[in-house]
C-alpha cells in the first residue's frame, strides 16, 4: 500500500509538471505576441519541449532579423538554428521547427555566400512541401528561396537553379492558400517592389490592403512600419528611396560577410549534413570566372562561391 501511494504521488507530480510546462509555454507564446521577445525565447528554452524550442527559434529569427544588427544578429541567427535543432531532436516531424530551420539555414547561406547552405535550405523546404503540399508557409518559403537567390545575380541563379519567374508563381500561389499571414504577404511585397512596373503596381495594391487591415501583435507593428516605408517610396517614384526602403525591409540585412562595409567575422554555423564534394574547395576547382576564357562553359557544372569570389566548378574527377 505504501508503494502504491508513492507511485500515485509520483504520477500526480508528473501531471502537475506537465500542466506547469503547458502554462509556461502559453505565457511564452503570449509574450511573443506582445513583443517581449527576450522573455519568449528564454521561456521557450526553459520549457524544453519541441514546441518550446520551436518558439525560441522563431523568436530568435524575429529578434535577429528585425531588431538587432551586426554580431548580435548573427548570434540570434545561430541561436535560432540551435533551438530548432533541439526541437527537431525531440520531434523530427515538428512543422514549425523544420520550416524555421530551413529558413534560418538560407539566411546563413546568404551571409556566408556558401551554396551548400542554400541547397540544404531548399532540400528541407521541398521535404516539407512533400508532406504539406497545400500549405501557404511551405510554398511561400520556397518562393522566398527563389527570390533570395535571384537577388544575388545571374551567376547565383545559374549555380542553384533559382529564378524570379518561379518565385513569382510560387508567391502568387502561396497567398491564395489558407493561413497566408502578414509575414508571407510582407515577403511577397518586398519581392514585387523590387520588380518591374507591373510588379510595383501590384505591390502598392497589396500594401494598401495590408495597411488597411492590420493584424495584432508586435511583429505586425514592426512589419507594418516597413510596409509604410515601402509604400511611400513606391508612391514617390524615387529609385534611391525605394532602394533604401528595400534594404531596411530585408531581414538580417547587415550581417553580410562579403560586403566590406558590413563585415561580420563570425564562423559559419555548421550544417547538419556533409555538404559534399562541391564545396570541397581544395579539389576540382578549375579557375576564377574572371580569368577562365580558355575554359569552355560546357565543361563546367556551374558557378559557385569560394572565399574570394565566384568560381567555375569543374566536373568531378575519377578517384
The confidence score (pLDDT) of residue 19 equals 54
Distance CA 40, CA 185 (A): 24
Do the domain assignments include residue 306? Answer: yes
pLDDT in tens, 87-135: 999 999 999 999 999 999 999 999 998 999 999 999 999 999 999 999 9
89 inside domain: yes
Boundaries of domain holding 307: 277-314
pLDDT in tens, 248-276: 999 998 887 655 455 677 889 999 864 44
CB-based contact 73:62 (threshold 8 Å): no
For the chain, the C-alpha Rg in angstroms (whole number) is 22
Question: For position 33, which CATH number holds?
Answer: 1.25.40.10
Mean pLDDT, range 44-66, rounded to an integer: 97
Residue finishing a domain among 95, 112, 129:
112
Q: How large is the average pLDDT for residues 138-154?
A: 93
pLDDT at 262: 57
State how many domains the chain has: 2
State the CB neighbour count (10 A cutoff) for residue 136. 18
Task: Please report, rounded to a whole number, the percentage of residues in the chain having pLDDT higher than 90.
Answer: 67
Is 269 inside a domain boundary? no
- Lowest model confidence (mean pLDDT) among 16-20, 56-60, 79-83: 16-20
Grid cell of 161 as nine digits: 537553379
Boundary (domain end) residue, out of 88, 112, 136 = 112
pLDDT value at 225 more than 90? yes
Q: For residue 309, what pLDDT band results from cuts at 50, 70 and 90? A: very low
> Would the pLDDT of 46 be above 60?
yes
Lookup result for grid cell 551554396: 115
Q: Is the per-residue pLDDT at 83 higher than 80?
A: yes
Residue 238 placed within a domain: no
Show which of 67, 86, 112 is a domain's final residue.
Answer: 112
Q: What angle do CA 145, 172, 229 make, to 5 degrees?
A: 75
Amino acid at each position: 500500500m505504501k508503494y502504491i501511494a508513492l507511485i500515485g504521488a509520483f504520477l500526480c507530480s508528473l501531471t502537475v509538471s506537465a500542466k506547469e510546462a503547458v502554462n509556461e509555454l502559453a505565457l511564452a507564446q503570449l509574450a511573443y505576441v506582445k513583443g517581449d521577445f527576450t522573455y519568449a525565447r528564454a521561456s521557450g528554452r526553459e520549457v524544453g519541449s519541441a514546441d518550446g524550442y520551436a518558439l525560441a527559434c522563431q523568436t530568435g529569427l524575429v529578434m535577429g532579423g528585425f531588431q538587432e544588427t551586426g554580431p548580435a544578429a548573427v548570434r540570434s541567427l545561430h541561436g535560432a538554428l540551435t533551438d530548432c535543432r533541439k526541437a527537431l531532436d525531440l520531434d523530427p516531424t515538428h512543422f514549425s521547427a523544420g520550416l524555421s530551420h530551413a529558413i534560418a539555414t538560407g539566411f546563413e547561406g546568404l551571409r556566408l555566400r556558401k551554396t551548400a547552405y542554400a541547397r540544404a535550405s531548399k532540400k528541407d523546404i521541398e521535404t516539407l512541401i512533400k508532406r504539406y503540399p497545400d500549405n501557404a508557409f511551405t510554398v511561400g518559403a520556397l518562393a522566398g528561396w527563389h527570390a533570395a537567390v535571384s537577388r544575388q545575380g545571374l551567376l547565383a541563379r545559374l549555380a542553384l537553379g533559382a529564378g524570379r519567374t518561379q518565385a513569382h508563381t510560387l508567391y502568387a500561389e502561396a497567398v491564395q492558400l489558407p493561413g497566408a499571414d502578414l509575414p508571407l504577404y510582407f515577403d511577397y511585397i518586398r519581392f514585387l517592389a523590387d520588380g518591374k512596373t507591373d510588379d510595383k503596381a501590384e505591390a502598392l495594391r497589396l500594401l494598401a490592403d495590408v495597411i488597411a487591415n492590420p493584424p495584432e501583435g508586435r511583429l505586425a507593428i514592426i512589419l507594418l512600419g516597413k510596409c509604410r516605408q515601402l509604400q511611400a517610396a513606391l508612391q514617390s517614384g524615387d529609385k534611391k528611396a525605394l532602394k533604401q526602403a528595400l534594404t531596411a525591409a530585408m531581414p538580417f540585412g547587415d550581417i553580410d560577410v562579403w560586403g566590406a562595409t558590413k563585415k561580420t567575422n563570425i564562423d559559419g554555423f555548421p550544417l547538419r549534413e556533409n555538404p559534399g564534394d562541391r564545396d570541397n574547395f581544395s579539389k576540382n576547382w578549375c579557375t576564377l570566372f574572371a580569368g577562365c576564357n580558355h575554359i569552355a562553359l560546357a565543361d563546367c557544372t556551374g558557378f559557385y562561391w569560394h572565399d574570394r569570389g565566384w568560381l567555375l566548378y569543374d566536373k568531378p574527377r575519377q578517384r
